[in-house]
Amino acid sequence: MRHHLILRVVTKALIGPIILFALYVQFHGDFSPGGGFQAGVIMAVAFILYGVIFGLNAAQSVFPTWLVHKLMALGVLIYAYTGVATLFLGYDFLDYGAFDPHHPAHGQHWGILAVEFGVLVTVTGVMMAIYYAFAERRPRISDKDW
């Protein structure tokens, strides 16, 4: 897409706000619609947009494939180990009251923040990995056929 000047300029202006919006959706998810799943998808969209407009290599130098693959597993591990942590604190699996025994509600805040972060990491990782996997294949249809 080298020749689409407008697309390139608009994309450059949009990527920052999209990532910011993803973080807003993530951390404001307790108060408004949103959460890890949506934020993960929006975060991935920012990088996918970059990849679509500037080419796969540019996107992969920003967000390398090995990192994406690590993130996929890391998110699930963050989630699972939050549960393990509450186990070690003497509470039930994923009972976030453990993080602040005097104020169970505050503990819940921390716990929800942690697991939502895990979901964000997994979903971003998986969406990016899927996009890379598809985009890395050599296309069978040339640009002219469209």
Residue pair 120/36 in contact by the 8 Å Cβ criterion? yes
Looking at the Cβ atoms of 90 and 139, the one nearer to another protein is: 139
The binder of another protein chosen from 11, 15, 29, 54 (CB under 8 A): 29
The binder of another protein chosen from 11, 15, 48, 59 (CB under 8 A): 48
Question: How large is the C-alpha radius of gyration of the chain?
Answer: 19
Q: How far apart are CA 17 and CA 77, in angstroms?
A: 29
The binder of another protein chosen from 31, 66, 88, 90 (CB under 8 A): 31
* 140 near another protein, judged by CB under 8 A: yes
Whole-Å CA distances, 46 to 53, 87, 90, 140, 141: 11, 36, 40, 26, 25
Mark out the alpha helices in the chain (DSSP H runs).
5-27, 36-54, 56-62, 65-88, 104-136
Two structure tokens written together for 96: 């976030």
CB of 18 to another protein, least distance (A): 10
Neighbours of 69 (CB within 10 A): 15
CB of 57 to another protein, least distance (A): 15
Residues in contact with another protein, shown as a per-residue x/- string from 4 to 23 under the rule CB under 8 A: --------------------
The binder of another protein chosen from 7, 19, 80, 85 (CB under 8 A): 80
Looking at the Cβ atoms of 88 and 146, the one nearer to another protein is: 146
